[in-house]
Structure 1
Amino acid sequence: MKILVIEDNKELASSIHDYLAGENYICELAFSATEAREKLLFFTYDCIILDIMLPDGNGLELLNLVKEEHINGSILIISAKGALDDKIKGLEEGADDYLTKPFHLPELHARLRAIHRRKNLDGNNIISFKEITLNTNTFELKIHGKALDATRKEFELLLYFLVNKNRVLSRQAIANHLWGDYTDNLSNVDFVYQHVKNLRKKINMAGGDDYIDTIYGLGYKFNTNKG
């Protein structure tokens, strides 16, 4: 999962970043509304952790930006204790959940996972397509019921394909999703090819079908009409 943390308290933002990175999430930080606006318009995220009070604006304005620009990504609002009006307004404006400061980082993690399941995985921990099964709690990948020795990146790559079935995903989009926004500045993202190649090979060796099409000049597509 790729997450944007919009929080002006750098100590809290760093704590969130380090905790989520320790859970193998891609986590980006924005310390102001201006910085957050730029990231939201140029990059994509699975979830946005949004502080209401920012030094150069109100977080609810960013929530409106997400709606107006049809930006994908779940939104978890975090704000000070007692800010009931902000909580109600945020939820009414389309936020998916609300967490009051101070909070425990494991609770934040649990909320993020719950939101992601509800919005992208139909509320399930188990994602299946024909002979392929992924458990997003244990990060276990099975082909025909047998565990596959896949890396965490290979698991996340396959999950990204399954959530975006039949959609063409560019190499840059895959790189940004799995490795973070810094990849936008790289001269090439050829390393994505190697990860896709390794994933295909492992699935094939386990007796699974190859559903990943290479769309030359564009990227890749998980083709549900194959197999």
Structure 2
Amino acid sequence: MKFLVIEDEESLRRSVIKYLTDEGNVCDWSSSFREADEKMMLYDYDCIILDLGLPDGEGLKLLQQLRKSNKTDGVLIVSARNALDQKLEGLRLGADDYLTKPFHLSELYARAQAIIRRKSFQGNDTVRFGEIEVDTVAKTVHVSGRELYLTRKEFDLLLYFIVNKNKVVPKSAAITHIWGDEADMADSFDFIYTHIKNLRKKLSDAGSRDYFHSVYGVGYKFTDG
């Protein structure tokens, strides 16, 4: 999963990012209103961890702008503000959940996972496409009941394409979703070709149909049509 952590307190931000990445996720981060606004508009995230008290702006304004742009990224507000009216305002503006500081990182992750399940997987931990079954919690893949062993990036790619099934996914979108800020260091698209080629072979060898369809000059479409 891909997260954006918007938090200006460095020690907390580092702790959250480490916990999420240790769990196998990709994390972008921002410590200011301006940088967060830019990333939220440029990229799509499974869940945004949003602090309200930023040094150069108000977190609720970011949330408002996100929803006005019709983006559906999950949003979990984390804030030291415990007032009921503040929570209600955040939820009214489109936040999916609200967590008061201080909090346990395990609770933050559990709430974020619940948001992602509701928004992307219809509340389920397991996602199915044809003969492919993906357990998003255990991070396992089965093809016709047979377990398939994938690298972390291959797993993330497969899940990303299943969630975006029947849509044309640009190569750049796949790269930024799976590699996050590290994608800026890429000199070409060669590594996305390699990962998809390896993933297609593993799926084929396990007995799966090839659902990847190249869209010339754009990217790929994951479909059975």
TM-score using structure 1 length: 0.96
Partner residue in 1 for 2:102: 102
SS in 1 for 2:162: helix
Partner residue in 2 for 1:38: 38
The residue type paired with residue 120 of structure 2 is: N
Matches within 5 A, 1:1-227: 1-225=1-225
Per-residue CA deviations over 1:138-178 (Å, capped at 9, x if unaligned) read 11101110001211211111111110011111111111111
Q: CA deviation at 1:188?
A: 1.2
CA contact (8 A) 1:50 1:77 kept: yes
CA–CA distance in structure 2, aligned partners of residues 184 and 166 of structure 1: 27
CA–CA distance in structure 2, aligned partners of residues 184 and 173 of structure 1: 12
Instruction: Give the unaligned 5+ runs of structure 2.
Output: none
The residue type paired with residue 176 of structure 2 is: N
Q: CA deviation at 1:185?
A: 4.8
What percentage of aligned pairs have identical amino acids? 50
After the TM superposition, which parts of structure 1 deviate over 3 Å for at least 4 consecutive aligned residues? none
Q: CA deviation at 1:189?
A: 2.2
The residue type paired with residue 139 of structure 1 is: K
Q: 1:81 to 1:64 in 2, by over 3 A?
A: closer
Q: CA deviation at 1:83?
A: 2.7
CA contact (8 A) 1:43 1:181 kept: no
SS in 1 for 2:82: coil
CA–CA distance in structure 2, aligned partners of residues 140 and 169 of structure 1: 23
Q: CA deviation at 1:107?
A: 0.5
Alpha-carbon RMSD: 1.1
Per-residue CA deviations over 1:64-112 (Å, capped at 9, x if unaligned) read 1101122231000011152322111000111000101000001111011
Instruction: Give the unaligned 5+ runs of structure 1.
Output: none
SS in 2 for 1:99: strand
Per-residue CA deviations over 1:98-144 (Å, capped at 9, x if unaligned) read 10100000111101111000000000011111211111111110111
The residue type paired with residue 94 of structure 1 is: G
TM-score using structure 2 length: 0.96
CA–CA distance in structure 2, aligned partners of residues 222 and 82 of structure 1: 43
CA–CA distance in structure 2, aligned partners of residues 164 and 103 of structure 1: 32
> In the comparison of the two structures, how many residue pairs are matched?
225
SS in 1 for 2:94: coil
